Structure 1
Amino acid sequence: MTTVAETRTAAEILAWSRETVEPTMRAAVDSLPGSMRRVAGYHLGWFDAAGEPLPGGPVAGKAVRPALVLLASAAVGGIADTAVPAAAAVELVHNFSLLHDDVMDGDETRRHRPTAWTVFGRDAAILAGDALVTLAMDVLATATRGWSATGPSAVGILCAAVQKLLDGQSADLDFELRADVGPGECRAMAEAKTAALLACACELGARGGRGAEFRVAHLRDFGTSLGVAFQVVDDLLGIWGDPSVTGKPVHSDLRSHKKSFPVTVALAAGCPELLDHYRRPGPCGERDLRRVADLIESTGARAWCQDTADALHADALDHLVAAGAPGRVETDLRTLAAFVTRRDR
């Protein structure tokens, strides 16, 4: 049986999360038709383009969301192992969103290798994403029949989170066509696109662990604040992250004219040169993108974003304390929260 260790680093928590959830995810993906299984397995880092297992182990993602499910269950007295199907379902949904994200954004690298759509084609990547989200619902429905006689169903909670995620992604794409997006709109988009699934992860874990309603609510709010902080940091990395660490192209968000947190804050500061850039359609060279990044930083937007991530981190910890998690579980959740707000990938 999986147990929660006394004190662990973020890397150890995330490794535990991956190791705990991956067998369930592999079993689920193995049930897909061959065409979907090959693309999904490649995206998840298990296979090469020919469908052969990768030597040296998988190229894994961070596994933050399944870790939140497992720890939220433990936080209310549940057994982490019973939360594994919900954790696997949340991670499958996350990877569905990444497959579609890469197609829509035209990103050519993820996790230090070519994205699935560049290897198998856009249509195949979209279909594989569709396969993962339906698989997630099946995994969760099968494992949680009779889960609650009075509260919302596990599948209903996850479906609502997916709908919010899709709404947030739609707003994100719409923002690329506008030069008048403000920080408030950006935050609302992040609460839907990113925070909804992290909040869902915490709620599924807490409800599956039979937590009291007030504890479920505080853990869900912990996930919401953490999710917005996650997006703020992601937006910082989308401009100033090191591609050798992030596994994504440098200046990728600037190249696609995304109205991320730093961009919307800088635009609100009224920099004419920056506003002119975002009113001009079409591609930009690397030199122009470096200039745009410098302009954004000169407005104080980069520092504002880190301060905002820190404030969201503090808010998340307030909810964590109110949830009353046991000491060692609270320590793990605090470690994850610190990782999210100070990560480099």
Structure 2
Amino acid sequence: MTAPVSPARESARHALVRCRELVRPHLRAAVGRLHPWVAEMAAYSFGWCEVGGAPAGAPGGKGVRQALAVLGAEAAGADGRAGVPAAVAVELVHAFSLLHDDVMDGDATRRGRPAVWQAYGTGPAVLAGDALFALAVDTLAAVPGGTGAVRLLSAALADLVRGQADDLLFTTRPWTGPDRVTAREYEEMAEGKTGALLGCAAALGAGLGGAPPETVTALDRAGRHLGVAFQLVDDVLGIWGDPAVTGKPVGGDLREGKKTFPVLAALGSPAARRLPALLSGPEHTAEAAALIDAAGGRTAALAAARTHTAAARELLTSAPLATGAAEELTALLDLLVGRTL
């Protein structure tokens, strides 16, 4: 028997759909301004077409960032349409980051389809990502008073690049010893790689909606906490999640040797002395997952996620936000990180 959906989760899902429908035509129009070949690669990355341009209904992303931008504008007391340029810009930047991430990480698939670099080639995928980034900046620059918005986006991009750089460098560091990656370093990386753009989305929407600087800052910080919490929950699901729900194989992160938060937290426990040896080969994935759990890795990750979720909720509660939008932002927060909390 299917469990009933809570009113808060239903509200969050409705907000996602409503914001996607509001932003979609503007996002399509922006992509349509690109070189036709580049526009096709961008459309393919969004799930709008197949290779060659034939229409497709492939599943795209949830549209979380664009929803945060629209709701940020509404939280400032403005019409959601005020946040559309911010929504388009952050969605373009997110797509750009995914195109380049797949190249850097060698990930061959994205949302169940060949990644853009697999479908079109590495060089074309990098070019498409560059075009999306340039288009995002142009979208904000065209907004009246857009200088401040471009500056906010640039700061978020600098943090995103810093987080991506740390994530890549983590793979070269040992599991144990003085040079090992700490859980704190991982949280800082996640804030940059995942949280910076989420915070930027809400802050940009609020700024374009006329919010005062302190409200813009509060929404930026809330989005950053959301990003870290989301990443920590994703790490838990990457080891122990149900493949039917996550779309990922059980223990996939362990087989790939990823330094995720549950692993790093467990390595600090004396109970995990055998863990580095188990992480050296994919044949020990199940045993490694059990040891990480026994050493407190899963518990530590979920506790940290709750801490960041509470911090985000406190920022949303204390900021002077329009009631309806504030409630939808809180519901969206719970939807995204409440999968295992």
TM-score by length of 2: 0.89
Kindly tell me the number of residue pairs found equivalent between the two proteins: 327
Offset at residue 157 of structure 1 (A): 0.7
Partners in 2 of 1:113 and 1:103 — Cα distance? 15
Verify the 8 A CA contact 2:9 2:331 in the aligned structure 1: no
1:286-301 mapped onto 2 (5 Å cutoff): 287-301=283-297
Match of 1:3 in 2: none
Match of 2:153 in 1: 158
1:33-112 mapped onto 2 (5 Å cutoff): 33-54=35-56, 57-112=57-112
Match of 1:204 in 2: 204
The Cα offsets for residues 164-198 of structure 1, whole Å up to 9 and x where unpaired, read as 10110010010011121110110111111111111
Match of 1:331 in 2: 327
Correspondence 1:221 to 2:224: no
Identity of aligned residues (%): 45
Partners in 1 of 2:72 and 2:297 — Cα distance? 33
Unaligned runs of 5+ in 1: 1-5
Match of 1:27 in 2: 29
Verify the 8 A CA contact 2:20 2:63 in the aligned structure 1: yes
Match of 2:19 in 1: 17
Which stretch shifts more, 257-266 or 184-193? 257-266
Offset at residue 249 of structure 1 (A): 4.8
Amino acid at match of 1:323: A
Partners in 2 of 1:197 and 1:40 — Cα distance? 19
Match of 2:184 in 1: 184
Amino acid at match of 1:52: A
Match of 2:3 in 1: none
Partners in 2 of 1:313 and 1:239 — Cα distance? 21
Partners in 1 of 2:268 and 2:286 — Cα distance? 20
Partners in 2 of 1:221 and 1:215 — Cα distance? 10
TM-score by length of 1: 0.88
Amino acid at match of 1:338: D
Match of 2:131 in 1: 131
Match of 2:145 in 1: 146
Partners in 1 of 2:42 and 2:244 — Cα distance? 24
Choose from 306, 311, 336 the match for 2:307.
Answer: 311
Partners in 1 of 2:246 and 2:215 — Cα distance? 34
Amino acid at match of 1:192: G
Partners in 2 of 1:21 and 1:306 — Cα distance? 33
Partners in 1 of 2:50 and 2:303 — Cα distance? 40
Amino acid at match of 1:136: A
Partners in 2 of 1:60 and 1:299 — Cα distance? 37
Which portions of structure 1, spanning 4 or more consecutive aligned residues, are displaced by more than 4 angstroms?
none
Offset at residue 44 of structure 1 (A): 0.7
Offset at residue 230 of structure 1 (A): 1.4
Offset at residue 310 of structure 1 (A): 1.5
Amino acid at match of 2:166: A
Unaligned runs of 5+ in 2: 1-7
Partners in 2 of 1:276 and 1:73 — Cα distance? 50
Offset at residue 121 of structure 1 (A): 2.4
Match of 1:276 in 2: 277
Residues 102 and 238 of structure 1, relative CA distance in 2, 3 Å threshold: farther
Verify the 8 A CA contact 2:9 2:334 in the aligned structure 1: no
Other structure's SS at 1:153 match: helix
Verify the 8 A CA contact 2:239 2:250 in the aligned structure 1: yes
The Cα offsets for residues 1-46 of structure 1, whole Å up to 9 and x where unpaired, read as xxxxx99532221111211111111111111112212221111110
Match of 1:253 in 2: 253
Other structure's SS at 1:9 match: helix
Residues 116 and 294 of structure 1, relative CA distance in 2, 3 Å threshold: farther
Partners in 1 of 2:124 and 2:234 — Cα distance? 27
Offset at residue 126 of structure 1 (A): 2.0
Verify the 8 A CA contact 1:75 1:206 in the aligned structure 2: yes
Partners in 2 of 1:252 and 1:131 — Cα distance? 32
The Cα offsets for residues 189-225 of structure 1, whole Å up to 9 and x where unpaired, read as 1111111111111211111111122222222221121
Verify the 8 A CA contact 2:69 2:202 in the aligned structure 1: yes
Partners in 2 of 1:7 and 1:257 — Cα distance? 34
Partners in 2 of 1:292 and 1:339 — Cα distance? 29
Partners in 2 of 1:337 and 1:174 — Cα distance? 30
Partners in 2 of 1:243 and 1:213 — Cα distance? 42
Other structure's SS at 2:274 match: helix
The Cα offsets for residues 92-142 of structure 1, whole Å up to 9 and x where unpaired, read as 111111111122222233222222222222222222211111111111111
Offset at residue 58 of structure 1 (A): 4.3
